[in-house]
Amino acid sequence: MNTSLALSFACGAATMFATSVIGRAHGGPPNHVYELRLYHVTSGKMDALKARFGDHTDALFKRHGMKSIGYWQPEDAPSSQELFIYLLEHPSRQDADKNWAAFQADPEWQKVKAESEIHGSLVDRIDRYFMDPTPYSALK
């Protein structure tokens, strides 16, 4: 799957989520930044990655001030087994960097990562995009 198609899918998914669940309008400039992450999953490791997120990663994100907006997996093969997408909200870009550093240094995360990757890495590559909402975005 090419990256622009994946990014289009992820942005569309984030917009649909925002419209259906959040759907609120705010005035003024955004007081936070969104981080879109696309994980290109190692062949055969999607279930292990989803389990790690559901069992550990999401709770650790919360502990480190990273707000999960949503997680997505494409419906159609082969992307359904190759791509895991999620969106985080941070107070600022600087807070995102600080939160990621704390997350990576967390002993619980290090243990979970090591145990989940005993038979090899779950992710081949990560694409990361920081985004600001437009004035007409439902998600602000």
Over the stretch 84-96, which tens digit does the pLDDT of each residue have?
999 999 999 999 9
Q: What angle do CA 21, 24, 30 make, to 5 degrees?
A: 115
Whether this prediction's pTM lies above 0.85 is answered by no
Q: Is residue 99 part of a domain?
A: yes
Q: pLDDT per residue over 59-68, tens digit each?
A: 999 999 999 9
| Contact partners, residue 70, CB within 8 Å, separation at least 6 | 13, 14, 17, 86, 87
Residue 59 counted as domain residue: yes
* pLDDT of 11 over the 60 cut: no
pLDDT for the residue 25 = 42
- Residue 122's SS3 state is coil
Instruction: Please report whether residue 136 resides in a domain.
Output: no
CA 44 vs CA 40, 51, 83, 122: distances in Å: 12, 13, 12, 9
Find the Cα–Cα–Cα–Cα dihedral 137, 35, 85, 110, rounded to 10°: -160
Whether the predicted pLDDT of 99 surpasses 80: yes
- Is pLDDT above 60 for 14? no
Domain count, the chain: 1
Cα–Cα separations (whole angstroms), residue 102 to 57, 70, 95, 129: 13, 21, 10, 19
How many Cβ atoms from other residues are within 10 Å of residue 66's Cβ? 21
CA distances in angstroms from 56 to 72, 124, 125, listed in the order given: 17, 20, 20
Whole domain around residue 111: which residue ranges? 3-24+32-131
The pLDDT of residue 113 is above 70 = yes
CATH number for the domain including 126? 3.30.70.100
Amino acid identity, position 55: D
With pLDDT > 90 as the criterion, what percentage of the chain qualifies? 67
The answer as to whether 36 is a domain residue is yes
